[in-house]
Structure 1
Amino acid sequence: MHSNDVDVLIVGGGVAGLAHALAAAKAGNRVAVLERDQRAVGASVRNFGLIWPIGLATGTETFFYERALRSAELWREVVRDTGMWHSDRGSLHLARRPEELAVLEEFRDRTPAAVANGVRLIGARETLRRSDWVRGDGLLGALESPTELNIDPRVAIPALTELLRERYAVRIEFGALVTGIDHPVVHTSAGDWRAERIFVCSGNEFQTLYPEIFADSGLRHCKLQMMRTLAQPDGFELGPALCAGLTLLHYPCFADCPSLPALRALLTEQHPFCLDGGIHVLVSQASTGQIAIGDSHHYELTQDPFQYAEIDEAILEYFDGFARLPRRRIAEHWHGIYPSPSDGSKVLLARPEPGVTVVNGFGGAGMTLSLGVAEHILEHGTLRDQGFARL
């Protein structure tokens, strides 16, 4: 047998590719991952590090919420196996306006699966007991969810890579650019490989392989801007990940709440720049003691390379309205770009030729969904019809 023969070959060393490698290796396959860069540098390391099932909780269709909850379980296994930093404190959606509280109440009442997993509304006093860093003035309460997990993506992706190598004997080849696929052969800049099953998890580089599929897929690039503060004082803990009213306009899980149009009208009047820039504000902690704050969302097939100070300023102004930090000074600014479906799908799944599966288009939910979705695809060979694009 040739040394480059495996059972399963993954194209792409970001979180989606590593997730498929983990699922395939656990099933007893000989697995290889090919990554064109010398390390993961894309959206998989440019995010909050939040595993965010609450964003996928809906009243009627629970498949992706269940996959997100399963992803959180699998990430907790990775945490135990690697010893990497994490915070398992859940999340708080803060309400400072009656319109926000109304949406949260409706979400609770319309989403029994979330309630069954511990989601509940709490008052202002209990919210402040759950977080030392929420501003109390004007606070009405919060939606508390225990299911969210905070990891540091800059630590988690390398840690998962090493776990795959050391525990599961997965071959991970960096600097191997895939130039073409003719199943079972994969052509690369470092020589040919052969595999019975090939998964293309190319992330933001989705136009490179099988461009005709992506031309018809409706995928576009989403550009976001994010920041990290200076390291907080020793012993600082953010506690639950934090967000507020703008987040209720961002996640589709709130879209069917009857009070959402009234909230949208109010926030459009009060924060027009944020609505125009797709800004909502999440807050998470990193292993370094820094705090990640973001982000904006701009959708286009071709994105410009520039970052805009007014976007960062708007994010920080909104953050300052609901939370505080001992050290709010910003140490890092960056932008990320990820592929996002334009039709509301959660995942793009395609089979361009026998033996080859393309998995892409997680939008901003790659960290949240990849491990659970990959496990399901490896076990069942597909996803349910609802909520993904089939080409």
Structure 2
Amino acid sequence: MTKKCDVAVVGAGIVGLAHAWMAAARGKKVLLVERSAVASGASIRNFGMVWPIGQPAGELHRVAMRSRELWLALAKQSGVWANACGSLHLAHRPDELAVLEEFVAQNQNGEINVQMLTADETLRRTPAAKPEGLLGSMWSDTELCVNPPRAIAAIPSWLSSRYGVDCEFATTVCELADGTLQSSDARQWQADRVVVCSGIDFQTLLPEAFAQSPLKICKLHMMRTAAQADAWRIGPHLASGLTLRHYSSFADCPSLAALQQRVREETPELDRFGIHVMASQNELGQVVLGDSHQYDADISPFDRSEIDELILRELRRQFVLPDWKIEARWHGIYAKHPDREMLEIEARDRVHVCVAPGGAGMTMSFGVADRFWNRITGQAASL
């Protein structure tokens, strides 16, 4: 028997969950299909940073801020933990401080609300900034922290109870034609519209669409400490001066080139492995640490201990933790579009591909999905 729905979403990572929610919030009857018992890809292998500060002013920053708004609404309604912690970019070198000061000056009257803090002011915000050599920091109040494994596992049941979303886990869709989805166990569904959110699986469904796309694959290394004792908290998300090399929001700062050149000359191994260091802390007190970036042909299934050692070396230069004991290590692999926030195409009539938010899935997915369903339906979400 073929079941019918308005919208079928394939993939229950953060992009798929976002599309299932935003379609259901517009009154659509939604089917959510996931091949695993619980999504276990890049969506659970990240810092849990909702990070508007990493998006440049304009449309991308507005989408990120809409995502933030939606995360807070979801947390309020579902009980999923989300902490409005803000963020600090630390400066331990003069060129890092210069870039931050330029960024603040560029956004003095703009939509990105940031301010410079002195070293003393920084240390009052967080006990985790290394005081030796600290020159100051940039504060932003817009960032959120979520716990990715817990959030990704909890959201489907909330979608089911709140909106009646039909969640089919441990189910692989192996064929898609004329709005009919067929699973590997021979079940079928008929959907008026299909959204494929398949992460880095470019082969199972619509391979012809992916073959024509310019997507890159990125591997990252991350770690997590044991829970810090005595309810110790880092406070806001922490980023280092190395992070300024990574996010496009800082690209227009005149001093960035000198910072990049200095890193190339002093620590070329960081560029080799795409390392910059950040830290977040979940509700359990565990501190999530990272990360590195290797692309395409440089990606190996084998994790190099050298990369973890370099990440920890740089973290210890910037941050202070009571307990550096590493409880877990992992790598994640995600897809990234070189020019856009995400790959969004209509591969066939009423069959859409929405993948590759890069390293900004937690930040951008809700806002991108909301924009997509606004365009498709002409309706705002009813939350």
What TM-score, normalized by structure 1, do the two folds share?
A: 0.93
Cα distance change of structure 1 residues 301 and 181 upon mapping to structure 2, 3 Å threshold: farther
Cα distance change of structure 1 residues 44 and 233 upon mapping to structure 2, 3 Å threshold: same
Structure 2 residue 356 is the aligned partner of structure 1 residue 361:
yes
Structure 2 residue 123 is the aligned partner of structure 1 residue 128:
yes
SS class of match (1:186): strand
Cα distance change of structure 1 residues 282 and 43 upon mapping to structure 2, 3 Å threshold: same
Aligned to 2:324: 328
SS class of match (1:4): strand
Aligned to 2:46: 47
Alignment of 1:1-391 (within 5 A): 4-58=3-57, 62-111=58-107, 116-190=111-185, 191-300=187-296, 303-341=299-337, 343-381=338-376
Answer whether contact 2:2 2:190 (CA < 8 A) is retained. Answer: no
2:113 and 2:54 map into 1 onto residues whose CA distance is 14
Answer whether contact 1:33 1:170 (CA < 8 A) is retained. Answer: yes
SS class of match (1:40): coil
Gap runs ≥5 in structure 2: 378-383
2:159 and 2:340 map into 1 onto residues whose CA distance is 29
1:45 and 1:376 map into 2 onto residues whose CA distance is 24
**1:3-39 superposed Cα distances (whole Å, 9 cap, x missing partner):** 6200011010100000000000110010010111111
SS class of match (1:257): coil
2:147 and 2:120 map into 1 onto residues whose CA distance is 29
Shift of 1:74: 0.7
Cα RMSD after superposing both structures: 1.5
Residue type of the alignment partner of 2:5: V
Residue type of the alignment partner of 1:326: P
Shift of 1:325: 0.8
Shift of 1:287: 2.9
Shift of 1:232: 0.6
2:136 and 2:310 map into 1 onto residues whose CA distance is 24
Residue type of the alignment partner of 2:168: E
Shift of 1:117: 4.4
2:204 and 2:291 map into 1 onto residues whose CA distance is 27
Shift of 1:206: 2.5
Of 176-185 and 12-21, deviating more is: 176-185
Of 303-312 and 6-15, deviating more is: 303-312
Shift of 1:172: 0.7
Answer whether contact 1:13 1:33 (CA < 8 A) is retained. Answer: yes
Answer whether contact 2:47 2:288 (CA < 8 A) is retained. Answer: yes
Shift of 1:301: 5.9
Shift of 1:86: 3.0
Residue type of the alignment partner of 2:227: A
Residue type of the alignment partner of 1:284: S
2:331 and 2:112 map into 1 onto residues whose CA distance is 33
Gap runs ≥5 in structure 1: 383-391
The alignment-based identity, stated in percent, is: 45
Of 177-186 and 241-250, deviating more is: 177-186
Residue type of the alignment partner of 1:13: A
Aligned length: 376
